[in-house]
């Protein structure tokens, strides 16, 4: 039974039971129309209301600047997951960069080629997902254009688990050459989370695994994205918060013929931010059910946070407390070792080992956990060990059960 199980998987992840119960009903009959929510048109008034509600809820939760001016941000719903955005940010920001740099020299191929040679995409590599994103950039536009600002593996014997201090960063020397500076706010596999917003020209953040778990300094970014399947909803939609500064009329995109002529990748239209923004995320069929789920999840956060600014503060307090309590048990026993450095521990994905990475002991830990209804604790296949994901829908009661189990295991009572 669902109520006997606590699930700590890293994504897809738990959703509030009340939302799923409501979802089961609307799948059959949405708003007493006799038609299920996955059957209605994405262009119907009902779908429009669902979309508008989700956008408004996100705006309130994270205090996202509104309006059409350069200071405003658009909220887009896309498909293709977080991985799709690894590519999308490259396509879009290289296009914006080139449009700026080609001004006045579009007919001079030599000058254009000289400009393109200066193009840089700056990546902060602090774990598996930012590494993958940087590799995708290299695949799309060539590794000569990708500058690794920092690679945390060089600061910890070849292993990830730290975020090096900003003084050691090596951003590209000329800020104007930088189409984007990329970082992953929370590394899901490695349990590493930024403790503040890094600096960088045209800052882009992957917030897939800590979206809606804390305040975000939106104004420091030109793009923030995240798949919905951890803290926000079901797999199938990706949310992007895009600055108007990189959208028309505030920014132009380069002509696709020119891009190709210069050897730069042109992206699929479904990942083209201006196209998606102009069509309010309805350029093609949007899975409205997924947007509805995200909207219900966000409405719960709003309901719980009356009077808070920003509204996400309430959830942040709960997330921080759950993580703190879990780390206290890990630190309080010499049976466990936390994998990442103390200074950058993730509040969302707690990665740890049983002393010395003893495979049999770890197996026993996982088996014992399951016998108490605690599931999804196995570390990512690439790193092993144990990972407890502390997403929003993981209740305080679930965390308390896990804590009790961890204590009992350490005391040999499990």
**Could you say whether residue 79 binds ligand PMP (CB under 6 A)?**
no
* Contacting residue, 13, 55, 81, 323, with ligand PMP by CB under 6 A: 81
DSSP string, 213-233: SS---GGG-SEEEEESTTTTS
Residue 311 in contact with residue 205, Cβ under 8 Å? no
Task: Specify whether 413 is catalytic.
Answer: no
d(CA 305, CA 36): 31
Residue 350 in contact with residue 323, Cβ under 8 Å? yes
Residues 6+ apart with CB under 8 A from 148: 123, 125, 134, 170
Residue 81 vs 119, nearer CB to ligand PMP: 81
How many residues touch ligand PMP under the rule CB under 6 A: the total is 11
* Contacting residue, 55, 172, 209, 305, with ligand PMP by CB under 6 A: 209
Q: How many CB atoms lie within 10 A of CB 29?
A: 12
Residue of minimal Cβ distance to ligand PMP: 81
Residue 289 vs 336, nearer CB to ligand PMP: 289
Nearest residue to 160 (alpha-carbon basis) of 333, 349, 316 = 349
Residues 2-41 interacting with ligand PMP (rule: CB under 6 A): 11
Edge-to-edge strand ranges of the sheet holding 73-78: 73-78, 238-243, 223-227, 203-206, 178-184, 120-125, 146-151
Burial class (CB in 10 A: 0-12, 13-18, 19+), 282: middle
d(CA 414, CA 407): 9
**Could you say whether residue 208 binds ligand PMP (CB under 6 A)?**
yes
Residue 182 vs 289, nearer CB to ligand PMP: 182
* Contacting residue, 136, 177, 190, 206, with ligand PMP by CB under 6 A: 206
Half-sphere exposure of 324 (CA within 13 A, CB side): 6
Question: Active-site residue among 230, 290, 322, 378?
Answer: 230
- Tell me which stretch binds ligand PMP (CB under 6 A): 14-22, 103-111, 202-210, 292-300: 202-210
Shortest distance, CB of residue 187 to ligand PMP, whole angstroms? 6
**Could you say whether residue 295 binds ligand PMP (CB under 6 A)?**
no
Residue 238 in contact with residue 82, Cβ under 8 Å? yes
**Could you say whether residue 191 binds ligand PMP (CB under 6 A)?**
no
Question: Active-site residue among 177, 185, 190, 206?
Answer: 206
Tell me the CA end-to-end span of the chain in Å, nearest whole number: 22
Beta bridge partners of residue 224, listed in sequence order: 205, 241
d(CA 14, CA 9): 8
**Could you say whether residue 184 binds ligand PMP (CB under 6 A)?**
yes
Residue 171 vs 227, nearer CB to ligand PMP: 227
Task: Specify whether 129 is catalytic.
Answer: yes
Residue 188 in contact with residue 382, Cβ under 8 Å? no
**Could you say whether residue 188 binds ligand PMP (CB under 6 A)?**
yes
- Tell me which stretch binds ligand PMP (CB under 6 A): 46-54, 168-176, 205-213, 304-312: 205-213
Shortest distance, CB of residue 387 to ligand PMP, whole angstroms? 11
Residue 58 vs 102, nearer CB to ligand PMP: 58
| Preceding omega of 62 cis (within 30 degrees of 0) | no
Residue 311 vs 347, nearer CB to ligand PMP: 347
Residues 121-140 interacting with ligand PMP (rule: CB under 6 A): 129
Residue 177 vs 190, nearer CB to ligand PMP: 190
Residue 138 vs 258, nearer CB to ligand PMP: 138
**Could you say whether residue 330 binds ligand PMP (CB under 6 A)?**
no
Shortest distance, CB of residue 71 to ligand PMP, whole angstroms? 27
Strands (E), 133-222: 146-151, 178-184, 186-187, 192-193, 203-206
DSSP string, 242-288: EEGGGSTTTS----HHHHHHTT-----GGG-HHHHHHTTT-SS---H
**Could you say whether residue 82 binds ligand PMP (CB under 6 A)?**
yes
Shortest distance, CB of residue 140 to ligand PMP, whole angstroms? 16
Q: Which residues bind ligand PMP (CB under 6 A)?
A: 11, 81-83, 129, 184, 188, 206, 208-209, 227
Q: Active-site residues: which are they?
A: 129, 206, 230
């Amino acid at each position: 039974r669902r109520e006997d199980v606590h699930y700590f998987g890293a994504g897809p992840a738990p959703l509030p039971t009340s939302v799923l119960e409501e979802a089961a009903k609307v799948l059959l009959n949405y708003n007493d129309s006799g038609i299920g929510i996955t059957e209605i048109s994405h262009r119907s008034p009902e779908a429009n209301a669902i979309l508008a509600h989700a956008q408004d809820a996100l705006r309130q939760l994270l205090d996202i600047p509104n309006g059409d001016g350069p200071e405003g941000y658009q909220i887009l719903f896309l498909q293709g997951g977080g991985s799709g955005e690894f590519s999308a940010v490259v396509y879009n920001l290289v296009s914006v960069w080139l449009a700026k740099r080609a001004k006045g020299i579009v007919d001079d191929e030599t000058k254009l080629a000289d400009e393109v040679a200066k193009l840089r995409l700056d990546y902060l590599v602090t774990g598996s997902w930012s590494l993958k994103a940087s590799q995708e950039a290299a695949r799309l536009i060539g590794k000569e254009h990708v500058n690794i600002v920092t690679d945390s593996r060089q600061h910890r014997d070849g292993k990830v688990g730290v975020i090096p201090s900003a003084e050691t960063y090596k951003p590209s020397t000329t800020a104007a050459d930088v189409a984007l500076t990329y970082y992953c706010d929370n590394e899901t596999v490695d349990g590493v989370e930024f403790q503040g917003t890094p600096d960088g020209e045209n800052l882009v953040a992957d917030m897939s695994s800590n979206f809606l778990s804390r305040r975000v300094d939106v104004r420091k970014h030109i793009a923030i994205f995240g798949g919905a399947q951890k803290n926000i909803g079901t797999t199938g939609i990706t949310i992007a918060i895009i600055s108007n500064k990189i959208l028309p009329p505030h920014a132009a995109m380069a002509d696709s013929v020119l891009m190709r002529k210069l050897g730069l990748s042109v992206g699929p239209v479904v990942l083209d931010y201006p196209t998606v923004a102009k069509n309010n995320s309805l350029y093609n069929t949007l899975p409205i059910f997924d947007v509805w789920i995200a909207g219900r999840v966000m409405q719960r956060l709003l309901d719980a946070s009356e009077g808070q600014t920003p509204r996400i503060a309430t959830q942040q307090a709960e997330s921080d407390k759950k993580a703190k309590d879990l780390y206290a048990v890990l630190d309080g026993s010499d049976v466990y070792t936390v994998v990442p450095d103390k200074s950058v521990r993730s509040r969302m994905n707690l990665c740890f080992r049983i002393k010395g990475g003893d495979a049999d002991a770890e197996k026993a830990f996982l088996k014992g956990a399951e016998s108490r209804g605690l599931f999804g604790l196995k570390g990512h296949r690439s790193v092993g060990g144990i990972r407890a994901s502390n997403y929003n829908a993981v209740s305080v009661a679930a965390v308390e059960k896990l804590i009790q189990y961890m204590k009992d295991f350490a005391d040999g009572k499990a």
